[in-house]
């Protein structure tokens, strides 16, 4: 019994539900077993087989692409490369799967702070350059990636100013 409900009201509601259920079940009671199987088993199977492939194949493709996209980067230097490329192109899209789950918020905050600092210059840098990525082990199953990063500004005449 549910607490806080009057037992008389609960009994009345239960009896109303049982009457409703009996009326709905009575609708199919006179149907033969073959008819019930045809309606409740064969019809859905036919609908799924005939029309389901039109929806099932794209849904399976989307499911597979989503699972593949959520795997993250294959290596630490690939993740760092994606992070720096996103920083250079000013797009945050695709960063979440490549970031370490334990430090995801900190890395995103750092990314936004770097972008804000880059956009705060007059004029903002034209592109972000980074050198070779150096991967080192931290010893606890994680890696540390370092790289030399610099911004490049372009003049109107096409010459770079760094």
pLDDT tens-digit series, residues 62-102: 888 877 766 777 888 888 888 888 888 888 887 877 877 77
Average pLDDT, the chain: 80
72: left (phi over 0), alpha (psi -120 to 50) or beta: left
Residue 1 lies in a domain: no
88 and 115 within one domain: yes
pLDDT at 52: 65
152 and 107 within one domain: yes
pLDDT tens digit sequence for 97-122: 787 777 888 888 988 898 888 888 87
Hey, which bits of 37-159 come out as E strands?
A: 127-130, 134-137, 143-146, 149-154
Residue 106 lies in a domain: yes
119: left (phi over 0), alpha (psi -120 to 50) or beta: alpha
Identify the domain containing residue 47 by its residue range.
7-69
80 and 65 within one domain: no
Residue 2 lies in a domain: no
Computed on alpha carbons and rounded to an integer, the radius of gyration of the chain in Å comes to 31
Residue 49 lies in a domain: yes
51 and 36 within one domain: yes
154 and 87 within one domain: yes
Domains held by the chain: number = 2
38 and 80 within one domain: no
């Amino acid at each position: 019994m549910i607490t806080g409900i009057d037992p008389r009201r609960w009994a009345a509601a239960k009896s109303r539900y049982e009457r409703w259920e009996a009326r709905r079940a009575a609708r199919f009671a006179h149907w033969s077993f073959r008819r019930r199987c045809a309606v409740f088993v064969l019809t859905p199977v036919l609908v799924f087989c005939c029309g389901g492939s039109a929806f099932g194949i794209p849904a399976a493709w989307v499911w597979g692409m989503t699972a593949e996209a959520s795997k993250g980067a294959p290596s630490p230097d690939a993740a760092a490369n994606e992070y720096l490329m996103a920083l250079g192109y000013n797009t945050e899209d695709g960063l979440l799967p490549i970031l370490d789950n334990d430090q995801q918020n900190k890395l995103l905050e750092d990314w936004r702070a770097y972008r804000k600092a880059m956009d705060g210059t007059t004029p903002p840098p034209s592109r972000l350059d980074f050198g070779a990525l150096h991967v080192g082990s931290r010893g606890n199953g994680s890696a540390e990636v370092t790289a030399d990063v610099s911004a490049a500004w372009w003049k109107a005449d096409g010459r770079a100013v760094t």
